[in-house]
Every structure is written in C-alpha cells, then in structure tokens.
Amino acid sequence: MFKIKPFEDCVFELSKLPGIGKKTAMRLALFLLNKELPDIERLASSLLNLKKNTKICKRCYGVSEDDVCGICGDAHRKKDIICVVEEPKDVFVIESTGRFEGLYHVLGGKIAPLDDIGPDKLRIKELIERVEKEAVNEVILATNPDIEGETTAIYIRKKLSHINNLLITRIASGIPIGSHLEYADEVTILKSLENRRAMI
C-alpha cells in the first residue's frame, strides 16, 4: 500500500480533533500541503501560543490569558447575575450577542449517567459556594435544551433552592427563527408553547 509518512502522521493528528473524520482530515492535510510555508508556520505558532498562554479562569472557569478572565475582571459587568453554561465555547456564543452584561460559570459539561458523568464531576459545588459567598441576585441556567442539559438545570435549581431571594431562571427554548413546525420534534414544540409570550 502506498503511504507517505509525514502526510499520514498529519492526517492521524488532525483526525483526533472533534468532528473531524479521516476523510476530512485528509482534505485538511492536502489543503495545508498546498499552503505557503509562512502560513503553516503562523498556524503552528498560534497553536503553540494557544497552549502556552491560555489558562482557565480561577473564578468562572472560562478561557483566559490571566488567572482571572477579562469578563470576571471587568468592573462594568453586573456582578449579581451569573449565567451558568456547560462549556467555555458557550461563553463565546452568548458574548457574541453583545447583550449579556453579567458574569458566567462554566460547569465543564453536563450530567450524563451513560457517560459516567455525575454532578460530582462538574463544577456545581463551586457554583453553589460562589452564589452563597457573593451578592448574587439571579442565576441563569443556560445549559443546552437536551435531556442531559435539562437534567443538569433541574439538579442545580434544587441545589440552589435553599438560598433566600435568589431568582433562578432558565433560558427559553423553542422553534428557531427561519424553521418550520413540521421539522421540529415534540419536545421543541412543547417548549415553544410553554415559553410563549404576549405579542406587543
């Protein structure tokens, strides 16, 4: 069988990335092979820089260049609102709206018994401690609207229920804009009905 070791090694490493199968890895390797050497060096440098100079924020567990991220360190953010998300990528998604002014707490996943992920493997204890110690008025549960995300949100709500005057909210979910009812599943339609609001 015809093999080129440097190419095979590159395909093997690229195929380790999430969502990248062997065929996509081969396409990426061929794409990179056709790029100029300075382009490849910049890519390699950015990957090394990412690993060497990126940390996990000690307060919210999001991605940061310093011990405390720019969001947690921003004096203009609303310190009394914490949005709970599953992964650091969710912070980027919400921040891209430019509308949320509070802080975040990254759980590091969601409760998934089939994958052997229980509450003890997430940063739920740290969230509870944070809410108890800081002057938090609202916790927004922004876990994904799937079974595991809903389970995680319900679990956290119960764990925070002992804190007086704490507003616990859940992000709305339902039919996405531009979609059609016929393509939505039953849970999505149900959530759309439950989260309905008056038209003004």
Same domain, 137 and 182: yes
Give me the domain span that covers residue 24.
Answer: 5-53
Whether residue 155 contacts residue 119, with contact meaning beta carbons closer than 8 Å, is answered with yes
Other C-beta atoms closer than 10 Å to the C-beta of 27 total 13
Residue with more model confidence, 98 or 15: 15
Same domain, 38 and 117: no
Same domain, 182 and 152: yes
Whether residue 102 contacts residue 78, with contact meaning beta carbons closer than 8 Å, is answered with yes
Helix (H) or strand (E) run with residue 24 in it? helix 22-33
Same domain, 178 and 97: yes
Q: What CATH code is carried by the domain that includes residue 46?
A: 1.10.8.420
Whether residue 146 contacts residue 159, with contact meaning beta carbons closer than 8 Å, is answered with no
Same domain, 49 and 105: no
- Give the predicted TM-score (pTM) of the model: 0.83
pLDDT band with cut points at 50, 70 and 90 for residue 200:
low
Tokens representing 5? 């070791």
Question: Tens digits of per-residue pLDDT, 94-148?
Answer: 999 889 999 999 999 999 999 999 999 999 999 999 999 999 999 999 999 888 9
Same domain, 31 and 128: no
Flag whether pLDDT at 1 surpasses 70. no
Domain-embedded: residue 62? no
Same domain, 132 and 36: no
Per the structure, the count of domains in the chain is 2
Same domain, 82 and 180: yes
Same domain, 82 and 140: yes
Same domain, 110 and 180: yes
pLDDT band with cut points at 50, 70 and 90 for residue 199:
low
Domain-embedded: residue 61? no
Question: Tens digits of per-residue pLDDT, 154-169?
Answer: 999 999 999 999 999 9
Looking at residue 182, what is its pLDDT? 77
Give the pairing of strands 103-106 and 138-141.
Answer: unpaired
Q: What is the mean pLDDT of residues 69-91?
A: 96
Residue with more model confidence, 198 or 94: 94
Domain-embedded: residue 69? no
pLDDT band with cut points at 50, 70 and 90 for residue 173:
confident
Task: Give burial (CB, 10 Å; 0-12/13-18/19+) of 38.
Answer: exposed
Same domain, 35 and 108: no
